[in-house]
Amino acid sequence: MTPDLPPVASPEAARSRGTGNFTTRILGVAAVATLAATAWLGLVVSPPDVVQGQLVRLIYVHPAVATVCYVGFGLCALASMAWLWPRTRSRRWDALAGASAEVGVVFCGLTLVTGSIWGRASWGVWWTWDARLTLTALLFAVFVGYLGLRRTGGSPEGRARRSAVAAIVCSLVVPVDHEATNWWRTLHQGNTLTKTNPSIHGWQLATMALSFLAFGLLFAWVLIHRYRLELLEDRYETEGLGLALEERRAEGAPPVAPHALTSTPLPADPLASEATAR
């Protein structure tokens, strides 16, 4: 659950504490526009397929979502490496790793759902234990475990270290999953776009390419917001602690008569002196 942000003094300050700015708004508008264009091209302009008929329209969602999921997990691994490297170690890399893993898990879930729907319609089954499907399910499971690991206790440093190592290990599944259709016999089709001569053309190719752009923009937009939210949570914890201390000090301070303010000095604040000693 995301905690509420502390109250702020002015609307300008409230805006500065949000996760959006001009760039993210442009990014969001671009994501929505390209998604709408993909939907229009995919549902109206693009013709049906000779073999799959209308089912081909799922190719404008499923491969793009799967690729974005790979990108999310890859980014998580890179950010984790940056955190582990002493010269680049920063809390921001850990926050980026967590945010990209979260968004990647969402897109991985979407990959499984859209793939299952497509599989039921084209293959005739919702699920089969071939290498590609099994590894994608494994990928989803290990990164859900990674997100669970990030919620474990301990010092922030220790938690970040454990998470970074786990992210790198978990991300090893990504290339294996991608190459599963090349290395083993699967029911899942091979890669369509990674060949030197893509086996898709015309409107189908154009729409598929646009879908990659659209879901990529959506991923970037969600990722930036989630990343900033992670940093805001840090800020909340820091500032929230300060506010709580101030409230406790106010509670602990004895009521002072107005005339005493001028005549008698206030007693020393034990919480303040404790904090100074620390």
Chain residues that interact with another protein, rule: CB under 8 A = 45-53, 55-56, 59, 121-125, 128, 130-131, 176, 180, 183-187, 189-192, 199-204
In the complex with another protein, the residue whose CB is nearer, 20 or 198, is: 198
> How far apart (Å, rounded) are the C-alpha atoms in residues 69 and 77?
13
Cβ atoms of 168 and 77 within 8 Å: the answer is yes
Minimum gap (Å) between residue 29 Cβ and another protein: 27
Task: Compute the least distance from the CB of residue 70 to another protein, in Å.
Answer: 17
CB of 125 to another protein, least distance (A): 6
How near is the Cβ of 170 to another protein at its closest, in Å? 14
CB of 187 to another protein, least distance (A): 6
Of the two residues 87 and 185, which places its CB atom closer to another protein in the complex? 185
- Residue 32 or residue 55: which is nearer to another protein going by CB? 55
Q: Rounded to an integer, what distance in angstroms lies between the CA atom of residue 212 and that of residue 203? A: 14
Give the closest residue to 99 by CA, choosing from 236, 233, 225: 225
Supply the minimum distance, in Å, between the C-beta of residue 114 and another protein.
16
| Tokens matching residue 197 | 């001569």
CB of 116 to another protein, least distance (A): 13
Whose Cβ is closer to another protein: residue 56's or residue 103's?
56
CB nearer to another protein: pick between 202 and 258: 202
Q: Is 256 helix (H, G, I), strand (E, B) or coil?
A: coil
Q: How far apart are CA 29 and CA 18, in angstroms?
A: 18
Reported residue count of the chain is 278
CB atoms inside a 10 Å sphere around CB 108: 26
Distances (CA, A) of 77 to 36, 71, 90, 104, 216: 31, 10, 15, 12, 18
Return the number of the residue (49 or 269) whose C-beta is nearest another protein. Answer: 49
Output 19 or 192, the one with its CB closest to another protein.
192
Report the distance separating Cα 99 and Cα 146, nearest Å: 12
Residues 250, 255, 257, 263: what is their CA dihedral angle, to the nearest 10 degrees? -70
